[in-house]
């Protein structure tokens, strides 16, 4: 995958070594030799990942990371601390500053690239979600902060009961913990709502890598974060785990604070992605849904009817277009008020939606006009169906408060012909609707056909 990576180190040999390793994988690499220079570059240019040396003169890596994560323009960029420090307190310090991962010197190529690829995948997903929702990085930050204290549902998988209890202890009270020693039962649990999976890669009774691979191959569990517990001596296993798609690793022996810090990092990322997906779904619904009636809007209709024209031209499968219009709707608004007019439109929409087939495309096309595409339906059959709907709408009074009144609708119908564009069919149906209105309203007329009056 192509990406732009900023490497920050005060020693030129270290910079050159990392630059060569990453450039060989076709990454676009930029370098900085101080924390101050790194902050300036990160604020003015776009990066997908930052490799940051922890110990530098002046601004050290921890302070640089903290500033990056507090800046609305850079907080979303994954940061990997590159350090010779191996003590747990230093790793915790980096994670608390906002670092997403650690790489210890001397740097192993496979471990470096596995972690880089893993974080770049996450960055790519975040960028895609941000672009779809239209949320800026700045206004997304408060949303993430609100999610920081949210409790997660965590499944821990290990074949040893004592190890399960030790892993769960630091997390109890902060999150809901499920313990499991059987990978088959674990998969069944994960199919419910799980926010994070912690799995042992050093189990004697099951293959942790195979379990992780299964999660990543299933669409239901593919996006659930995985924190793998590993042995620092089993580097090949850890590299393979990242290649499969795990999100983070924790080495034995496990320190409680580091466990909590890594769990919180993964949960925040999960909750943020979930929130973005929810916003995306809501935004998409707003784009294609008429807010008053809940029906599809004009954009939704235009997109939905396009495949029907393709089927007509390719296979000859017919469909018809129906335009319903509320009779004398302006008088309803003028006499009874726009609030009542809105109630009328909602009720007409509800009666249309509940009486048409599931395959029919029903939309509010504008004002008091509703448009329906009826697949696999010729004009004659569409006329019969539309007249049935007309009768149902006009035959049941609409109640507003303690007052009931009846409304009427007229409809125009046209069958699509091979070679037609949407405007051609719409024009014929609209002309038929005009004839229905001109002939007294409360009736259905097909293009070129006689009207069916009430």
| Residue numbers annotated as active site | 368
**SS3 state at 5:** strand
Closest by CA to 309, choosing from 318, 296, 322, 297, is 318
Whole-number Å distance between alpha carbons of 19 and 12: 10
Q: How far is CA 342 from CA 40, 290, 292, 301, 345, in A?
A: 55, 12, 8, 21, 5
Dist CA 25 CA 112 (whole Å): 12
DSSP at 296? B
* Contact between 314 and 302 (Cβ < 8 Å): no
Instruction: List Cβ neighbours of 255 (8 Å cut-off, separation of 6 or more).
Output: 88, 92
Rg (CA), the chain: 31
- Angle of helix 61-70 versus helix 35-44 axis, rounded to 10: 20
Burial bucket for residue 90 (CB in 10 Å: 0-12, 13-18, 19+) = middle
Rounded Cα–Cα distance for residues 218 and 207 (Å):
17
8 A C-beta contact, residue 279 and residue 135: yes
d(CA 381, CA 318): 11
Alpha helices in 105-255 (DSSP H): 109-133, 137-147, 161-168, 183-190, 208-217, 235-244
Q: Which tokens sit at 323?
A: 């335009």
Report the DSSP beta bridge partners of residue 31. 7
DSSP secondary structure string, 405-416?
E---EEEEEEE-
Q: How far is CA 130 from the centre of its chain?
A: 9
- Beta strand spans in 17-78 (E): 28-32, 49-53
Across the beta sheet with 248-251, the strand order is 176-180, 153-157, 196-200, 226-230, 248-251
Residues 6+ apart with CB under 8 A from 77: 42, 47, 48, 49, 50, 68, 123
């Amino acid at each position: 995958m192509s990406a732009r990576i900023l490497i920050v180190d005060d020693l030129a040999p270290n910079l050159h070594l990392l630059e060569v390793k990453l450039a060989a994988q076709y990454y676009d690499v930029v370098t900085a030799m101080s924390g101050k220079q790194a902050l300036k570059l990160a604020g003015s240019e776009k990066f997908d990942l930052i490799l940051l040396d922890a110990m530098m003169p002046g601004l050290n890596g921890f302070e640089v990371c903290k500033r990056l994560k507090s800046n609305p323009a850079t907080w979303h960029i994954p940061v990997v601390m590159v350090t010779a420090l191996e003590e747990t307190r230093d790793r915790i310090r980096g994670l608390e500053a906002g670092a997403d991962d650690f790489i210890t010197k001397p740097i192993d190529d496979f471990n470096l690239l596995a972690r880089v690829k893993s974080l770049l995948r996450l960055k790519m997903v975040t960028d895609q979600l941000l672009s779809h929702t239209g949320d800026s990085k700045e206004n997304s930050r408060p949303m993430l902060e609100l999610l920081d204290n949210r409790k997660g549902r965590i499944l821990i998988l290990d074949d040893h009961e004592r190890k399960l209890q030790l892993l769960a202890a630091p997390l109890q009270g902060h999150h809901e913990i499920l313990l499991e020693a059987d990978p088959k039962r674990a998969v069944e649990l994960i199919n419910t709502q799980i926010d994070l999976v912690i799995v042992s890669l050093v189990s004697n009774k099951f293959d942790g890598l195979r379990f992780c691979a299964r999660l990543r191959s299933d669409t239901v569990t593919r996006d659930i974060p995985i924190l793998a517990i590993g042995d620092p001596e089993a580097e090949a296993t850890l590299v393979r785990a990242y290649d499969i798609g795990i999100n983070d690793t924790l080495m034995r022996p496990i320190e409680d604070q580091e466990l909590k810090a890594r769990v919180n990092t993964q949960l925040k990322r999960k909750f943020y992605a979930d929130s973005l997906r929810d916003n995306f779904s809501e935004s998409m619904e707003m784009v294609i849904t008429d807010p008053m009636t809940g029906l599809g809007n004009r954009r939704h209709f235009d997109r939905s009817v396009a495949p029907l024209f393709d089927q007509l031209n390719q296979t000859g499968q017919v469909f018809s277009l129906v335009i319903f219009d509320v009779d004398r709707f302006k008088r309803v608004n003028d006499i009874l008020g726009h609030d009542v007019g809105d109630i009328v439109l909602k009720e007409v929409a509800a009666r249309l939606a509940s009486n048409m087939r599931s395959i029919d495309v029903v939309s509010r096309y504008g004002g008091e006009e509703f448009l329906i595409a009826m697949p696999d339906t010729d004009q004659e059959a569409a006329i019969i169906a539309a007249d049935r709907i007309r009768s149902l709408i006009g035959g049941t009074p609409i109640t507003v408060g303690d007052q009931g009144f009846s409304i009427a609708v007229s409809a125009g119908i046209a069958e699509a012909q091979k070679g037609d564009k949407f405007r051609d069919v719409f024009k014929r149906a609209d002309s038929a609707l005009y004839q229905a209105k001109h002939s007294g309203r409360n009736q259905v007329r097909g293009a070129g056909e006689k009207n069916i009056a009430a």
